[in-house]
Structure 1
Amino acid sequence: MVYFLVGIIDLFFVISLIATIYFGFRARKNKETYQKKFRHSIIATIVLFIFLAGSSQLIPDTSTNNETKSSTSSKQKDIQSSSSSRKENKIKSSNDANYTKSEIKKINHQLVLALKNDQKDANNGDERYNWANYILKILIQKNKTAYVYVDGNFMNLSEEDRKIVGEHTNGLIGAAIAMAGIDYTPEEGREGVYMSFYNGPQAIGRSRYTDNTSFKWYK
């Protein structure tokens, strides 16, 4: 069942990727007709990539060698610890990979447009975009993280629904970066963007250091 699920997600990911390339090519010639389709296909590709990466972890380990399992587990813990430390240091420190003021302006402009379009779709009855109505504002930061401001209704959501909103928001940010003409590598798309969530001035949650698409909520 797990292999079947991974196969289905992989198929949709390939289809979405092909659509993104097609709409991207068409959008260069006819922006009014294809730009929105291009943006939506980018979001779908990123979200499917996240699901594909997550579902692949569900594939059972068939190894029967206990010593090998123990060794692998130990190595994975070391790698995870090292990755967490590197990511936390990256978030807290300034480096040459930071966005410029011009890039921040371009990305935030695309975020405003993209969020408004998705909220419009939600208000027109498209339930796939209902998540967008919980978001008030998204601001990309110099160190490539994002501040996400949510409304009061977000606080009433279950943890699973908050995760759905967070995942779609991450996809929207990735699409906005690409639409702004900023380099956004497949590796960055897989990792997603580290997000801090706010309800007004109060911090209510953040991405986990080991996984930008998993979240820790303070309340």
Structure 2
Amino acid sequence: MKLLAGGAAIAAVAMLAAAGQARAQVDVSGGGLASACAAAAKNGESAYRFEQVCTESLEREMLIPLDRAGTYVNRGIIKMRTQQYDAAIKDFDTAIRYKSDLAEAYVNRGAARIGARRFGEAVADFDNALTLNVKEPEKAYYNRALAHEWLDDYKAAYLDYQKALEIAPDWELVRVQLARFTVSHAQAQTAPAAAAPKP
């Protein structure tokens, strides 16, 4: 199977912008500022005041390690929406230090690394997220497909888009990405039969 990405150069900027559409917000227990931060991340907020809610939570609230890690992830998501990729990566790094098995931290760090054009590192993050059984694996596959495409590995990108669509068949963004590909099947060649051994 040979894969050619159609209009890759034209779609490059759009793909990078689309990378942020596959984020994995983390729910936290209880109420308070950490919950408000989680709600802001979930609802697509990007204003600085929502980032500040997360910061206040981290500075003032007594949080269990999972909720502290989740709050760093949620603040990082808000930062990504304003293209603060390096600052977001720092938040995801801190979340991973608190909870090294938090798959959503890896998905989001990978998305931020795509924004920062660190595509090889992004692929490794999505691999980790999938190994850790991320709650929404379609987001990891989608983002990993974007990173593979930036690395000119069109076959891996196509297969990851296909996997994302298999998991989330109604996700229109994945269909749009797949529509850019042209797939051609090479002529299959069969190996000649082995000669019969001489008696």
Shorter-chain TM band: under 0.3
TM-score by length of 2: 0.28
The structure number with the bigger radius of gyration is 2
TM-score by length of 1: 0.26
Q: Which has the higher contact order (CA 8 A, sep 6+)?
A: 2
Determine which structure has the larger strand proportion and give its number.
Answer: 1
